Every structure is written in C-alpha cells, then in structure tokens.
C-alpha cells in the first residue's frame, strides 16, 4: 500500500499540544524471527529514493506501512490471528474480498481496495492503526466496537495488493502516515525520531524465511505454498537437496549453500554470483544424487550464508538425520 510522505516535523510541532501516541504491541500472534518476519518497512524517503528508518533498503518506493510476513501459505491456512496493537474503537472494516495472489489477478482488479479485507482502529488523539490483507470472512470485530490491546481482529490472509500472506500495518496521525519505528523524524531523515512500539522489533538486515531438505529441487512457489515440512523429504535412496528461501537481499549480496556429510565432508557447495539488484525474496539450493547403495546413515548438515560487503549478514544452519 502506498501512503503519504511523512509530515515535516515543523508542522507536527505547530499542531500543539501534540498528544501522546499509542504504545503499540506486536499485531500478530506469531513469533517474530521464527514463524514470521518483517518483509518491508515503511519508505521514509519523501522523494523518488527508497529508504527505511535505518537508512537501509528494506522497503519499496511509496510503501506506507510495515509488512509482517508469514513463512508460508501452509501457516496461513492453519490460521494466524491479527491483534489490535493498542486500545481503541473500530472505525471501519472491509470483508468479502477474495484471497488471491496479485500475480493471478488482472491489472486494476483491486483499484481502491489495495488493503483487501481490513480493519481501522481509532485511538485517542487523532491516531489510527490499519490492518490489511486479512483472510476473507475472518474479520471478528464490527464498527463502533471498543477493543483492548491484543484483541483478535481476524486472521492473516492474502486479500488486496499482496503476493504472499502478510499483515500490512499502517499508523496514521491526523490522516498522515507515520512510521511507527521513527515517529517525528524529520522528512527525509533516517535514524531519527522515536519508536511507537512498546517493545521495538529488532531491525533485521534480512531473514531466512524457510529452509530445510528435500528429495529434489524445490521451487519458490512450492516452498511458499507448503512450507519446509511439506516439500517431499529426502530418503536414503533419493537426491539430498538443502534449500533456503531468504528475504530482504540487496544488490551485491553473494549467497552460498554448503551441504555436508555426517563426517563433515563437503557434498555440494553452491556459490551464487552477487545479485545484480535488490531482491525481495530468493531461493538457493545445494544438492547431490544418492551414491550407489544409498546415503550412509547419519546427520547431514547445511550452511546457508549471505555475504554483504565482505561479512556474513544472514546465516542459517540446518540438519537432517537419514
């Protein structure tokens, strides 16, 4: 979703007295960094540039909120609740929008309904939070209803302008979009302002969303649809493939996946060339066919790394016992 640029601090200061903003709690019933991750922060660059609140590139042009992504559709189907981030009164809802990846919809199909199924909560002092892309038929509140912090609003879905299951959270003050990680930062400034979070989620340079082992190459679509535990698992007589799907990679990032035998010997070492541009998501494999007689019993290990500016920015290790 696109939002208006941050209001200059001078204008905020002129609207005295500035009411205390709500303290926000995490709006999803998931463990951040484990079974959900921040896919995109708000774009705090008022011009054509793209910049998150830490001066990084983990956003896209005009993005007016924070996107928190589930690891897969399988997790979405199990159901993950969307929670009120602060106490308030439900100002509006939308439900009934279909759940479908944008890639499968005709252009213009969701014009004016980019949020999909969603909820807007009004908080004291002219503040609002908006929750987007929820599951059809899941909205559990009605307009005018008072909600407490953590109240269940519905479930994460795939409605509106989205290609993967996530919650888009917008925070607004007097109608202007506010970055909850950097309230009051001067326009165009990053690393400024103040967090509205009661517990500020740690900034992640990137994240491994799904990783594991399979009996053959797996596609991004398959991993996203089924999750790591659902792709065909390797056996002693099948190929052994280690894979990792990562988000938030930057142009210039180099990736490496190493697969090791129980004795530590390298079975496969896949080094991807540096990315030519930022990538919202990537998938990398390393694998090998089973030797004659099958894989020896034991624990096989994978090491996935993203090398950024000469250092390890993202790392993930997994193991499987055959």
Beta bridge partners of residue 199, listed in sequence order: none
Number of H helices, E strands in the chain: 3, 17
Residue of minimal CB distance from Zn ion?
A: 168
What's the start-to-end Cα distance of the chain, in Å? Answer: 45
CA 314, CA 322: separation in Å to the nearest integer?
27
CB of 157 to Zn ion, least distance (A): 14
Distance CA 285, CA 171 (A): 38
Q: How far is the CB of 118 from Zn ion (least distance, A)?
A: 11
Q: Which residues bind Zn ion (CB under 5 A)?
A: 65, 67, 168
Q: What are the DSSP calls for 235-300, one per residue?
A: -TTS-EEEEEEEEEE-TT-EEEEEEE-TTS-EEEEEEEPPPSS-EEEEEEEEEEPPPTT-PPSSEE
Handedness of CA 173, 86, 199, 83 (dihedral sign): negative
Q: Considering the complex, what minimum distance in angstroms separates the CB of residue 219 from Zn ion?
A: 24
Cα–Cα distance measured from residue 100 to residue 1, given in angstroms and rounded to the nearest whole number: 16
User: Rounded to the nearest whole angstrom, what is the least distance from the CB of residue 125 to Zn ion in the complex?
Assistant: 24
Of residues 21 and 160, the one with the C-beta less far from Zn ion: 160
Q: Minimum distance from CB of 204 to Zn ion (Å)?
A: 16
Q: How far is the CB of 261 from Zn ion (least distance, A)?
A: 43
Distance CA 54, CA 277 (A): 19
């Amino acid at each position: 979703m696109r939002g208006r640029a941050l209001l200059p601090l001078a204008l905020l200061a002129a609207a005295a007295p500035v009411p205390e903003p709500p303290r926000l709690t995490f709006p999803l019933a998931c463990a951040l960094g484990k079974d959900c991750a921040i896919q995109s922060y708000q774009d705090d660059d008022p011009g054509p540039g793209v910049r998150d609140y830490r001066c990084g590139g983990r956003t896209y042009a005009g993005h007016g909120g924070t996107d928190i992504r589930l690891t897969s559709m399988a997790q979405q189907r199990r159901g993950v609740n969307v929670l009120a981030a602060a106490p308030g009164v439900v100002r509006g809802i939308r439900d009934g929008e279909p759940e479908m990846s944008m890639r499968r919809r005709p252009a213009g199909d969701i014009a004016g309904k980019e949020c999909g199924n969603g909820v807007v909560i009004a908080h004291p002092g002219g503040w609002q939070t908006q929750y987007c892309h929820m599951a059809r038929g899941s909205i559990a509140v009605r307009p005018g209803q008072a909600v407490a912090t953590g109240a269940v609003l519905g479930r994460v879905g795939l409605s509106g302008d989205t290609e993967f299951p996530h919650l888009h959270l917008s925070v607004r003050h007097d109608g202007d979009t506010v970055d909850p990680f950097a309230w009051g930062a001067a326009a165009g400034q990053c690393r400024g302002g103040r967090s509205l979070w009661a517990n500020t989620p740690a900034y992640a340079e990137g994240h491994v969303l799904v990783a594991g082992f399979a009996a053959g190459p797996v596609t991004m679509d398959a991993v996203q649809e089924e999750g790591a535990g659902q792709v065909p698992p390797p056996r002693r007589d099948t190929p052994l493939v280690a894979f990792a799907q990562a988000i938030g990679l930057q142009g210039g990032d180099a990736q490496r996946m190493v697969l090791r035998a129980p004795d530590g010997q390298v079975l496969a070492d896949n080094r991807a060339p540096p990315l030519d541009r930022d990538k919202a998501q990537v998938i990398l494999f390393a694998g090998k066919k089973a030797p004659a007689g099958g894989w020896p019993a034991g624990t096989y290990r994978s090491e996935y790394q993203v090398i950024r500016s000469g250092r390890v920015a993202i790392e993930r290790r997994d193991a499987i016992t055959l």
